[in-house]
Amino acid sequence: MKPLDRLLAAARARPRHIILPEGQDPRVAEAAQRLTEQGLARISLMNGPVIAGVRMLCPAEAPDLPELADHWHRMRAARGMTAERALVEMRDPLRQAAMRVRLGQADGTVAGAVATTAETVRAALQVIGPEEGAPLVSSFFLMLACAETTPIKGGMIFADCGLVVDPDAAGLAAIARASAASCRRLLAEPPRVAMLSFSTAGSADHPSLTKIREALALVRAAEPDLEIDGEMQFDAALDEAIRAKKAPGSALTGRPNVFIFPDLASGNIGYKIAQRLGGLTAIGPILQGLAKPANDLSRGCSAQDIVNAAVITSAQAG
């Protein structure tokens, strides 16, 4: 079964409650209708049109607004939050959606069709917060190679392509470990992780490579059973014949399904090349490392992109 088909089947088997706070956007409203009609999720839509089967919410007029604001006030009082300001800020759809997820009223939220990534991520970080023990909140794209024209088939994780600009060695290690966990959850496959760069197995020397080598050592120390290798050029990672020549002692036993880029610039460029020239479907950016699911969208997203992101959010809630 194709990765996305498996995720869709899992969503239908147990529809999760997802909040879409940007209901004023026609793409979001259309996605809410599709998710509901296809039985993929139970949807709450903020500030949107009336849609059969979809729960409508008006954040500024919610009956439980004072309760939500009180939670926000208590969470931020040590940082100078007043009760009056908390009431104003909790009228914001992004914050209110995140608070409802935090309090268990919903399983996850998806936004970013209208709001910027900074606004979406800030609300998630401030209100939901990081998962206990998670050193870093990062993002990934689920890349699906399912078209007849793609030279390989299946799903892959590309990280970080949307959030962490220039991680240090510890941050890069955290991204690799979180992405491996996302691979297990979403692709139902043992992760095989490639740490990407312009060098393979020491073929070059540069300060930027030190970070990757240190990150690899940190991951191996923390998870000795995780299949991971680097630094590695993309062709050596993807093609076993090339890898056998360039890195004959590689720990990778097959084609990687998790690709870790050294920084946001290379990750963002890489996923868009794969999407636009390679014909892969890109779902994301999906956040990892949060206590509960909240995900971002590209402002150029389609209604189907929103549907896909909601399905991934449901899987994370599982």
Residue 289 — φ and ψ, nearest 5°?
Answer: 105, 0
- What does the pLDDT read at residue 300? 86
Hey, where are the domains in the chain? Answer: 3-129+290-317, 138-276
Q: Which residues of the chain have pLDDT under 70?
A: 1, 147-151, 202
State in words which class domain 138-276 has.
Answer: alpha beta
What is the residue-wise DSSP string for the chain?
A: --HHHHHHHHHHHS-EEEEES-TTSHHHHHHHHHHHHTTSEEEEEES----TT-EEE-GGG-TTHHHHHHHHHHHHGGGT--HHHHHHHTTSHHHHHHHHHHTTSSSEEE--SSS-HHHHHHHIIIII-BPTT-S--EEEEEEEE-STT-SS-EEEEEESSSS-SS--HHHHHHHHHHHHHHHHHHH-S--EEEEE-S-STTSS--HHHHHHHHHHHHHHHH-TTSEEEEEE-HHHHH-HHHHHHH-TT-S--S--SEEE-SSHHHHHHHHHHHHHTT--EEEEEEEESBSS-EE---TT--HHHHHHHHHHHHHHH-
- What does the pLDDT read at residue 147? 65
Instruction: Return the number of other C-beta atoms located less than 10 Å from residue 24's C-beta.
Output: 15
CA distances from 299 to 112, 161, 261 (A): 6, 15, 23
- What does the pLDDT read at residue 251? 86
Residue appearing with tokens 């839509």: 45
State in words which class domain 3-129+290-317 has.
Answer: alpha beta
| Same fold yes or no, 3-129+290-317 and 138-276 | yes
- Please give the structure tokens belonging to residue 68: 């939500």
- What does the pLDDT read at residue 313? 95
Summarize pLDDT for 199-253 with one digit per residue, the tens: 887 677 778 888 999 999 999 999 999 999 988 989 888 888 899 888 888 888 8
pTM of the model: 0.88
Q: How far apart are CA 165 and CA 161, in angstroms?
A: 9
